Amino acid sequence: MISNQTINNLKAALSGFSTLTLKRYAGPYRHTYKWLQQTQWYSPDQLKHLQLVLLKRIVNHAYNTVPFYRNAMDADGIKPSDINRLEDIEKFRIINKADLKKSGSDMYSKKYPSLFLKTAHTGGTTGLPVPLKRDIFSIGNEHAFVRRQFDWAGLKPSDTTAYLEGRKPKFANSNANPKYHYDSAAKELTLSTFDLNEKSALDYADLIKSYNVKALIAYPSAAFVMAKVCTQNQINLHLKAVLTTAETIDEYKKNIISKAFNCDVFDFYGSSERVCYIHCCPSGTYHIIPEYGLVELKPLENSPPQTFKIIATGFWNMAMPLIRYDTKDLVVADGTKCPCGRNFPTIKKISGRESNLLTTPSAVQLGPAAIECILGRVLYQTYDMPILAARVIQDSTDTLTLEYVPTEGFSPRHLKIIQKRFNKQISSGFKAQTKAVKDIKRTPSGKFLSFVMSEHH
Ligand SMILES: [Zn+2]
């Protein structure tokens, strides 16, 4: 008898094959990938010129085929011919998720019949997701950018990758709830983040070994659980790279993951709206990818120093062009030139969502990256601290609770260390508490928030 798992894998390979055709063979993938090999070495002037050409193209297209932009530009007195410098982007109004929701299908280009469109949804942790349209040609382009990112992380197209993030394994039938599937066409192993715990992590490690996986693409919290479990059980996995995304990650956590898998960790940022792409180069520096979109970094009021919000214009999704889209995601600016030799803008780190700021009693705002930093100093700087996950909860204006998931070997001695360090880190007038829990719930997309406000707050 054929097992459910075999059917899952077969289904995965079939859909993998059709997706791969769309990504790599039918569309503009080869052309864009070849182009990206050259543009990565462009001078600052060449990059500016390239961006201006792509900006003019998307503005023209939006004006001519998207009702929302035709109306908005007419109302604001903007013509496509008014765009002559990159700074002219500021003539446009800034839009956000609420605008997408309100305008509905007016946001879609009338150029494409629905057959050529695919639907995705906005991410985020608050509010209902909004449908996003993508034309099938943008899929090949997107894949070319992803491919170059993987090149920078030292991965070959033939390398098998494992995913431990929002993806869900395929279902063989309605009763089955598989923890993984393997797509042999794309050479991708999908592991369920929702089922990740100390026990399943051991099974996942076995799968990673048996499928000869070379890279792990994961939420930092999930990669961390894998790293801890592998280290505790002396399982040695040699990967070429771990790529993390969608949550903030600090240096300590990065080191633990890096040690466990004997490779570098490359963090990256992307959004389902496809307006901005940020990832690390071989030197480990975060670069804003200039061929992908035009990114404006807006300073925030009362925000932590050097923190900016990403407002971005995507160059490639013709089905639903977004001009000056407010991502509500924050970054810490850098501005130094990278030793890798590329002239792409650099940033220090991704700081998380604007809506997820902690306000101290003295009215200082801390972003998720700052919280992650505190957790790093409290928990992760000790390499063998027996905990699997942790987060900070603000119970009231002046009380913070550190929730942690202890693993085998956790003793009163460890608790003392945590309490002492946490008290020291929380110096801005907060009362600090600690609480051991069995498990910490993930968001519907499987993400993990390092800071939450208590419901009673
Ligand atoms: Zn670089």
Side-by-side strand order, sheet with 277-280? 180-183, 188-191, 160-164, 213-218, 241-245, 264-270, 277-280, 286-288, 346-353, 325-333, 307-314, 293-299
More confident residue, 224 or 119: 224
More confident residue, 267 or 166: 267
Spacing, Cα 45 to ligand 1 middle (Å): 18
| Angle made by CA atoms 405, 410, 414, in degrees to the nearest 5 | 100
Spacing, Cα 293 to ligand 1 middle (Å): 18
Residues in the chain: 457
Spacing, Cα 152 to ligand 1 middle (Å): 9
Spacing, Cα 50 to ligand 1 middle (Å): 19
Spacing, Cα 42 to ligand 1 middle (Å): 13
Per-residue pLDDT averaged across 407-419, rounded? 93
Confidence of residue 156 (pLDDT cuts 50, 70, 90): very high
Spacing, Cα 285 to ligand 1 middle (Å): 5
Instruction: Please give the model's pTM, rounded to 2 decimal places.
Output: 0.90
Cβ–Cβ under 8 Å, residues 185 and 13:
yes
3-class DSSP state for residue 192?
A: coil
Q: Say if residue 153's pLDDT is above 90.
A: yes
Residue 300 CB-density burial (10 A; 0-12 exposed, 13-18 middle, 19+ buried)? middle
pLDDT at 95: 97
Spacing, Cα 342 to ligand 1 middle (Å): 6
Of all residues in the chain, the percent with pLDDT exceeding 90 is 61
pLDDT at 457: 47
pLDDT at 174: 52
Spacing, Cα 63 to ligand 1 middle (Å): 35
The whole-angstrom separation of Cα 412 and Cα 427 is: 23
Per-residue pLDDT averaged across 434-451, rounded? 84
The whole-angstrom separation of Cα 204 and Cα 325 is: 38
Helix 29-39 and helix 44-65, axial crossing angle in degrees, nearest 10 = 140
User: DSSP characters for 39-57?
Assistant: HTT--HHHHHHHHHHHHHH
Spacing, Cα 284 to ligand 1 middle (Å): 7
Q: What is the pLDDT of residues 341-371, one digit of tens each?
A: 999 999 998 987 777 777 777 776 777 777 8
Q: What is the pLDDT of residues 264-276, one digit of tens each?
A: 999 999 988 999 9
Cβ–Cβ under 8 Å, residues 255 and 279:
no
Cβ–Cβ under 8 Å, residues 330 and 367:
yes
Side-chain half-sphere exposure of 245, counting CA atoms within 13 A:
20
Confidence of residue 173 (pLDDT cuts 50, 70, 90): low
Which structural domains are found in the chain, ordered by start? 1-353 (3.40.50.12780), 358-453 (3.30.300.30)
Spacing, Cα 334 to ligand 1 middle (Å): 12
How far is residue 82 from each of residues 64, 91, 169, 450, measured CA to CA in Å? 15, 9, 48, 44
Average pLDDT for the chain: 90
Spacing, Cα 294 to ligand 1 middle (Å): 18
Spacing, Cα 343 to ligand 1 middle (Å): 8
User: DSSP characters for 314-380?
Assistant: ESS-TTS--SSEEEEEEEEE--PPPTT---S-EEEEEEEEGGGPEEPTT--EE-HHHHHHHHIIIII
Cβ–Cβ under 8 Å, residues 41 and 341:
yes
* Paired tokens of 149: 């990112």
Spacing, Cα 349 to ligand 1 middle (Å): 14
Spacing, Cα 282 to ligand 1 middle (Å): 6
Q: Say if residue 429's pLDDT is above 80.
A: no
Which contiguous run of DSSP H or E holds residue 227? helix 220-232
The candidate with the shortest Cα–Cα distance to 335, out of 306, 364, 310, is 306
Spacing, Cα 309 to ligand 1 middle (Å): 22
